């Protein structure tokens, strides 16, 4: 029987600037075993995801994965252009940890109330690759909040952040300082990929990055870990 899987998130799920973890997830299963639906919007905060759940609950899937919070975590960093993000994403309030947790809880509450799906919340990919840096610490702090929401709402917690920390410690990467992915920088990656035909993994290698192309968006290695934790922690429970 084909399992219908809805993957909710931001640009990491939309996969214009990242390697497509939905594609990698599908490849882990035989043809016809899973049918994947993508609900990813670039730049989304947890609040934005809460506003667009109608499309998910109208045709309820069997499994729902939620990977959201990277932009909330980025907004907590010094120097992040918060006002620009608020205007672009039409946020009614300044992003904060409390608002993130409240919005994510509301997302899960509605999904539980209006579907019978198995639900899994992924912790965040590591921001940057300096584990003692402010960006990585922010992604860890927001991942703890995700774990708290998962426990409170009694849904699965999928430890992507923890898995990526293991991978980075094993790789012992060079200490490349975190740089915020500005719109110009993201477009630069897109042009390298689309015009110069450089793979996202090639872009990563040129920058000395292990899991990402730009400290945020995932290369093949990072995206494979997303697919791995979904498969190991959630899909096997639905068989």
Q: What is the pTM of this model?
A: 0.92
Q: Where are the domains of the chain?
A: 3-238
Are the C-beta atoms of residues 225 and 167 closer than 8 Å to each other? yes
Q: Is the pLDDT of residue 193 over 70?
A: no
- Per-residue confidence at 187, pLDDT binned at 50, 70, 90? low
Give me the mean pLDDT over the 59-70 stretch. Answer: 97
Give the residue-averaged pLDDT of 163-168. 98
pLDDT, mean over the chain: 93
* Placement of tokens 């999904």 in the chain: 111
Q: How crowded is residue 206: how many other Cβ atoms within 10 Å of its Cβ?
A: 11
Six token digits for residue 52: 């667009």
Average pLDDT over residues 55-65: 96
Give the Cα separation of 117 and 113 in Å (integer): 10
The owner of tokens 């998962």 is 150
C-alpha 226/C-alpha 171 separation (Å) is 17
Q: Residue 179's pLDDT is what? A: 84
Q: 187 or 71: which carries more pLDDT confidence?
A: 71
Distance CA 1, CA 224 (A): 25
What percentage of the chain reaches a pLDDT higher than 70?
Answer: 92
Out of 30-39, 69-78, 156-165, 184-193, which region has the weakest mean confidence (pLDDT)? 184-193
Mean pLDDT of the region 58-77: 97
For residues 12-17, average pLDDT: 93
More confident: 221 or 203: 221
State the burial class of residue 116 (Cβ atoms within 10 Å of its Cβ: 0-12, 13-18, 19+): exposed
Question: Quick one: CATH architecture of 3-238?
Answer: 3-Layer(aba) Sandwich (3.40)
**pLDDT tens readout for residues 86-119:** 999 999 999 999 999 999 999 999 999 999 999 9
User: If you average pLDDT over residues 163-175, what whole number do you get?
Assistant: 94
């Amino acid at each position: 029987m084909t399992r219908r899987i809805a993957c909710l998130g931001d640009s990491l799920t939309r996969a214009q600037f990242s390697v497509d973890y939905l594609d990698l997830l599908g490849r882990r299963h035989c043809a016809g075993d899973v049918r994947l639906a993508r609900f990813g919007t670039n730049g989304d905060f947890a609040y934005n995801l809460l506003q667009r759940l109608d499309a998910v609950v109208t045709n309820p899937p069997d499994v729902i994965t939620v990977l959201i919070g990277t932009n909330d975590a980025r907004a907590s960093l010094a120097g992040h252009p918060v006002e620009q993000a608020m205007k672009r994403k039409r946020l009614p309030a300044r992003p904060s940890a409390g608002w993130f947790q409240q919005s994510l809880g509301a997302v899960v509450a509605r999904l539980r109330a209006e579907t019978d799906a198995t639900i899994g919340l992924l912790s965040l990919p590591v921001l940057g690759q300096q584990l003692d840096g402010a960006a990585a610490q922010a992604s860890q702090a927001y991942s703890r909040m995700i774990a708290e929401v998962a426990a409170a709402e009694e849904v699965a917690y999928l430890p992507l952040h923890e898995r990526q920390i293991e991978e980075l410690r094993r790789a012992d990467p060079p200490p490349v300082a975190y740089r915020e992915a500005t719109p110009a920088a993201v477009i630069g990656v897109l042009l390298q990929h689309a015009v110069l035909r450089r793979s996202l993994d090639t872009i990563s290698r040129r920058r000395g990055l292990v899991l990402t192309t730009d400290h945020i968006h995932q290369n093949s290695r990072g995206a494979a870990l997303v697919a791995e934790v979904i498969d190991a922690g959630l899909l096997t429970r639905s068989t």
